[in-house]
Amino acid sequence: MLKLTDDMKDLLKHNLCYIATASKDGMPCVAPKSCRFTDDGRLYYIEWAGKKTYANLVANPKIAISACSADKKTNYRFEGGAEVQTSGPVFDHESKRRAEAGKRAVVAIVMVDVTDVFDMGKKDPGGRVEL
C-alpha cells in the first residue's frame, strides 16, 4: 500500500470521488462515492447501495478512484485492489454512525490498497506519481 500525501488525502476526503470497477467479463462501471480514511490511514468507502459496483468488486477486486478539485485544479487517479468487508471494526463503526443519522444501512466497507497514483491535472497529465 502506498502512503498518500496529506494533499491527496484531503482531495479524496473533501471531494466527490468516482469509483471505477469492471465485471469479471470486463464491462465497466463508474459510480460516485465518498472516500474516508481509518485512523491508521487506510482508504475506504462505504458501500450502501450494494448493486453493480459491489458485485463487480466481489467478482473482480481491481479498482480505480478519480478525485478532482476544480478550485485547486488538482485531479488524481488512484488504482489498486479492493477488499470488501461485511464485518469488522470499521463496518461496525460506520453501521452505528449511519443508523444514528437515519441513513441507509451499510452493505459493506470497501478497503482500498492503493498501488499506483496518476496525476490527471495540468502538471503532468497521465503521469505516474512516485510516492
- What are the structural domains, with CATH classification, of the chain? 6-120 (2.30.110.10)
What number of other Cβ atoms are within 10 A of residue 57's Cβ? 24
So what's the pLDDT on residue 84? Answer: 97
User: Which residue blocks in the chain are alpha helix, DSSP H?
Assistant: 6-14, 52-59, 89-100
pTM here? 0.89
Q: Which residue has the cell 506519481?
A: 129
Closest CA to 87 of 111, 53, 65: 111
**Cα–Cα dist 113/25, whole Å:** 22
Residue 48 scores a pLDDT above 80: yes
pLDDT band at 130 (very low <50, low <70, confident <90, very high): confident
Q: How far is CA 91 from CA 10, 57, 111, 120, in A?
A: 22, 17, 10, 31
Q: Cell numbers of 104, please? A: 441507509
pLDDT tens across 71-96, in order?
888 899 999 999 999 999 999 999 99
